């Protein structure tokens, strides 16, 4: 049975779900998601003998938003506080998409807290902009200067919204306040140079038809992370946890028991 609980972490009220008994596994969801998106996987893993904990990350689900824009490192520090507050000495850590970014940082800064690392459709590798996008970025730099002038300053947010829409970063348009600043800090950071620093045994899970974070990124992770294995799930896209929860749980269970 899944229990829903609340805890206070550095003044923020955090909602989380917990189920099962056994080896602890912390799952960090993706951007715009919540613990709800992992319920089916959590149920299966809990029935397979694991204690599975899924928080709503700050700014998502039922958890409070951070007071200012957070970086990926800030979220990894939050994860450390969360783990310690729940009394775990060591955990298995799984991150999906944005949660994978956090998990990468966590594994680098707090490796002593990890037994194993699982990265699912993890974002964080920055790709080169195409010709069209480079033109837009160049125009945006000029526009940012022009619209920072006093007469045009009131139009600055509207222009920025149009810019992110053109670049297909619609997630930016769905959030406000500190979470917009958070989004800007997160998407600008390239985590590829950090990957060789990961020393924890790592499982990489990817949907073969992922268009949000392309499969080629999975092979970059596999190449750069020393102790890593890759599992590709056919006929799934960016959310294998929703499209193939039984298969995800099977792969994770086998990895954690090996």
Residues 102 and 152 in one domain: no
How far out from the chain centre does Cα 54 lie?
12
Residues 198 and 90 in one domain: yes
Residues 8 and 43 in one domain: yes
Residues 57 and 151 in one domain: no
Quick check: 136 pLDDT over 80? no
pLDDT band at 65 (very low <50, low <70, confident <90, very high): very high
- pLDDT score recorded for residue 188: 84
Residues 106 and 226 in one domain: yes
Residues 147 and 244 in one domain: no
pLDDT one-digit tens code per residue, 204-216:
999 999 999 999 9
Residues 121 and 204 in one domain: yes
Residues 135 and 122 in one domain: no
Residues 106 and 234 in one domain: yes
How high does pLDDT run on average in the chain?
A: 87
Residues 241 and 114 in one domain: yes
DSSP for the chain, written as a single string: --EEEEEEETTEEEEEEEE-SSEEEEEE--TT--GGGGHHHHHHHHHTTEEEEEE--TTSTTSPPPSS---HHHHHHHHHHHHHHTT-SSEEEEEETHHHHHHHHHHHH-GGGEEEEEEES---PPPPP-HHHHHHHHHHHHHHHHTTSGGGGGGHHHHHHHHHHHTT-HHHHT--THHHHHHHHHHT---GGGGGG--S-EEEEEETT-TTTTHHHHHHHHHHSTTEEEEEETT--S-HHHH-HHHHHHHHHHHHH-
- Domain range enclosing 247: 3-126+190-257
Residues 175 and 215 in one domain: no
CATH code of 205's domain: 3.40.50.1820
Domain C-terminal end among 146, 169, 184: 184
Q: How far apart are CA 119 and CA 125, in angstroms?
A: 13
- pLDDT score recorded for residue 191: 96
Question: Mean pLDDT throughout 49-55?
Answer: 98
- pLDDT score recorded for residue 148: 52
- pLDDT score recorded for residue 38: 98
Domain C-terminal end among 184, 202, 224: 184
- pLDDT score recorded for residue 183: 84
Out of 56-60, 139-143, 149-153, the most confident range is 56-60
Provide the domain count of the chain.
2
Question: Mean pLDDT throughout 227-231?
Answer: 97
Residues 169 and 253 in one domain: no
Domain C-terminal end among 184, 201, 228: 184
């Amino acid at each position: 049975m899944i229990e829903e609980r609340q805890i206070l972490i550095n003044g923020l009220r955090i909602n989380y779900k917990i189920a099962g008994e056994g080896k602890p596994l912390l799952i960090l969801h993706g951007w715009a998601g919540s613990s709800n998106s992992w319920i089916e996987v959590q149920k299966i893993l809990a029935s397979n003998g694991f204690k599975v904990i899924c928080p709503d990350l700050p700014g998502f689900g039922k958890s409070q938003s951070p007071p200012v824009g957070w970086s990926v490192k800030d979220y990894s520090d939050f994860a450390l506080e969360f783990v310690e507050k729940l009394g775990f000495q060591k955990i298995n850590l799984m991150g999906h998409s944005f949660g994978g970014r956090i998990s990468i940082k966590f594994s680098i800064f707090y490796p002593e807290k990890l037994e194993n690392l699982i990265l699912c459709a993890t974002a964080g590798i920055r790709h080169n902009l195409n010709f069209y996008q480079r033109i837009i970025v160049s125009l945006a730099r000029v526009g940012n200067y022009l619209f920072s002038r006093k007469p045009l300053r009131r139009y600055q947010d509207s222009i920025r919204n149009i810019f992110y829409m053109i670049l297909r970063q619609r997630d930016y348009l769905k959030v406000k306040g500190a979470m917009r600043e958070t989004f800007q800090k997160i998407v600008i950071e390239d985590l590829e140079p950090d990957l060789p620093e990961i020393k924890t045994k790592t499982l990489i899970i990817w949907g073969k038809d992922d268009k949000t974070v392309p499969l080629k990124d999975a092979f970059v992770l596999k190449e750069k992370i020393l102790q890593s294995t890759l599992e590709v799930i056919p006929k799934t896209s960016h959310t294998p946890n929703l499209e193939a929860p039984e298969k995800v749980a099977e792969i994770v269970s086998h990895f954690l028991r090996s």
